[in-house]
C-alpha cells in the first residue's frame, strides 16, 4: 500500500479539503466538520498530517509546504528516491488554488487581532469559491492513479 | 544513513558544512576563496536547483551526505524531511541539518548579490568575509553531526 500526500501552502485548508474529497468524506461543503480544518497549530510543525486510509488501504496525508509548493514537491520526490523508495510507495499531489498564499498568511495574524476568526471566515470564503476546481483536480487525480 | 545539510540556496553554508563533514576541506584553518570555490556546488547554483537534494559524498562511516537549498521555507523544512522519512518507515535512516543558524549577514548579502543578482565580482568578496567569520561555527555543526552519525552508516550501534 502506498502513502498519498496532498501538498498545499498549508496542510489544514485546501489540501485537507482535497484529501477529504478524495476519501469521499466531505458533505455539503461543510469544511468546518473536517477534523483539523484551519487548525494552524497542527500545521505549524511541518510534519505530514494523517487523514485516513482510502478503500485500497493507501494512507492519506496532507502537508503544508509554505509558499513554495513546487520546491516542496521536488524535495519530497527526490527524498523518496534518496531513501530507496519510489512513487509506488509515496505519491505527492500538489493542490494549488487561487488565494492559497492568503491561506498561508492567515496563520501569521495574531489571535488578538482576530486571527482565529479571520482564519475561518477567509478560509471558508476562498474554499467555497475554489471548491469546484478542487473537485475537478481530485477527479482527474483518481483517474490517473487508477491506471 | 543519509545526512542532508540544508540552507537557503544550497550553495554556501550547507556546501561548506557537508565538505567539512566529508573532510574535503581542512577544518583547522579558515579557507581561502579559491579553496571554497574548488568545492562542488559552492556559489555555483541557479534557481532550478532549489529543492534538489544533491549528493556530496560518503563519509568515513559509510553515511551518504547531501545538500539542499530550501529557499525561504524556514525551520519547518527539517520536520518536513523527517516526517516524510517517518511515514516511509525510514525515520532512523535520515538526519536533516539546518545550517541557517550559522549564516551571518555578510553571507546573506554576498550570497544574494552573487547568486540572485548575478553580480559575482561584488558578491564573492563579501561572501568570503562572511564565510570565514562563521567558519568555526560550521566546523562545530559538521563535527557534532559527524560524531552523532559515526558508525551508524555501517549499522554499528
Q: Output the tens digit of pLDDT for each of chain B's 157 residues.
A: 999 999 998 889 999 999 999 999 999 999 998 999 999 999 888 888 899 999 999 999 999 999 999 887 778 899 999 999 999 999 999 999 999 988 889 888 888 888 878 888 888 888 888 888 899 999 999 999 999 988 665 544 4
Cβ neighbours around A88 below 10 Å, total: 8
Is the CB of A142 inside 8 Å of chain B's CB atoms? no
CA distance A109 to B125: 39
Q: List CB contacts (< 8 A) between A5 and chain B.
A: 84
Q: State the pairing for strand pair A90-94/B64-69.
A: unpaired
Q: List CB contacts (< 8 A) between A79 and chain B.
A: 4, 53, 81, 84-85, 94
| Ramachandran sector of residue A6 (left: φ over 0; alpha: ψ -120 to 50; beta: rest) | beta
Q: Where are the domains of chain B?
A: 2-102+135-153
CA distance A114 to A106: 10
CA distance A130 to A114: 24
Q: For B96, which residue in chain A has the nearest alpha carbon?
A: A79
In B43-154, at which residue ranges do the beta strands (DSSP E only) sit?
A: 53-58, 64-69, 94-98
Per-residue DSSP letter, B32 = P
B36-42 contacts, C-beta under 8 A, 24 or more apart? B36/B128, B36/B131, B39/B15, B40/B15, B41/B10, B41/B11, B41/B15, B41/B67, B42/B11, B42/B12, B42/B15, B42/B16
Is the CB of B92 inside 8 Å of chain A's CB atoms? no
- In this predicted model, what pLDDT tens digit does every residue of A13-28 receive, in sequence order? 999 999 999 999 998 8
CA atoms A46, A47, A48, A51: torsion sign: negative
Query: Which pLDDT band holds residue A51 (cuts at 50, 70, 90)?
Result: very high
Q: List CB contacts (< 8 A) between B78 and chain A.
A: 46
- State whether A75 and B93 contact (CB < 8 Å): no
A28 min Cα distance to partner chain B (Å) = 31
C-alpha cell at A104: 498561508
Q: What is the pTM of this model?
A: 0.89
Amino acid at each position: 500500500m502506498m502513502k498519498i500526500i496532498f501538498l498545499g501552502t498549508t496542510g489544514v485548508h485546501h489540501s485537507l479539503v482535497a484529501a477529504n474529497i478524495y476519501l469521499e468524506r466531505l458533505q455539503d461543503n461543510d469544511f468546518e466538520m473536517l477534523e483539523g480544518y484551519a487548525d494552524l497549530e497542527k500545521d505549524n510543525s511541518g510534519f505530514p498530517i494523517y487523514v485516513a486510509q482510502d478503500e485500497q488501504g493507501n494512507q492519506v496525508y496532507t502537508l503544508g509546504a509554505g509558499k513554495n509548493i513546487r520546491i516542496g514537491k521536488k524535495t519530497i520526490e527526490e527524498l523518496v528516491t534518496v531513501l530507496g523508495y519510489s512513487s509506488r510507495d509515496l505519491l505527492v499531489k500538489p493542490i494549488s488554488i487561487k488565494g492559497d498564499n492568503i491561506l498561508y498568511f492567515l496563520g501569521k495574524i495574531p489571535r488578538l487581532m482576530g486571527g482565529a476568526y479571520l482564519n475561518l471566515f477567509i478560509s471558508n470564503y476562498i474554499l467555497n469559491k475554489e471548491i469546484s476546481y478542487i473537485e475537478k483536480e481530485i477527479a482527474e487525480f483518481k483517474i490517473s492513479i487508477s491506471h | 544513513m543519509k545526512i542532508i545539510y540544508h540552507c537557503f540556496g544550497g550553495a554556501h553554508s550547507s556546501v561548506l558544512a557537508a565538505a567539512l563533514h566529508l573532510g574535503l576541506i581542512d577544518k583547522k584553518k579558515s579557507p581561502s576563496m579559491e579553496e571554497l570555490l574548488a568545492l562542488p556546488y559552492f556559489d555555483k547554483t541557479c534557481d532550478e536547483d532549489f529543492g534538489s537534494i544533491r549528493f556530496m559524498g560518503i563519509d568515513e562511516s559509510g553515511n551518504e551526505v547531501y545538500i539542499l537549498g530550501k529557499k525561504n521555507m524556514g525551520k519547518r523544512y527539517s520536520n518536513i524531511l523527517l516526517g516524510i522519512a517517518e511515514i516511509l518507515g525510514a525515520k532512523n535512516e535520515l538526519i536533516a541539518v539546518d545550517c541557517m543558524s550559522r549564516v551571518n549577514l555578510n553571507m546573506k548579502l554576498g550570497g544574494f548579490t552573487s547568486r540572485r543578482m548575478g553580480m559575482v565580482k561584488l558578491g564573492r568578496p563579501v561572501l568570503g568575509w562572511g564565510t570565514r567569520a562563521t567558519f568555526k561555527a560550521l566546523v562545530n555543526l559538521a563535527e557534532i553531526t559527524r560524531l552523532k552519525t559515526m558508525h551508524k552508516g555501517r549499522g554499528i550501534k
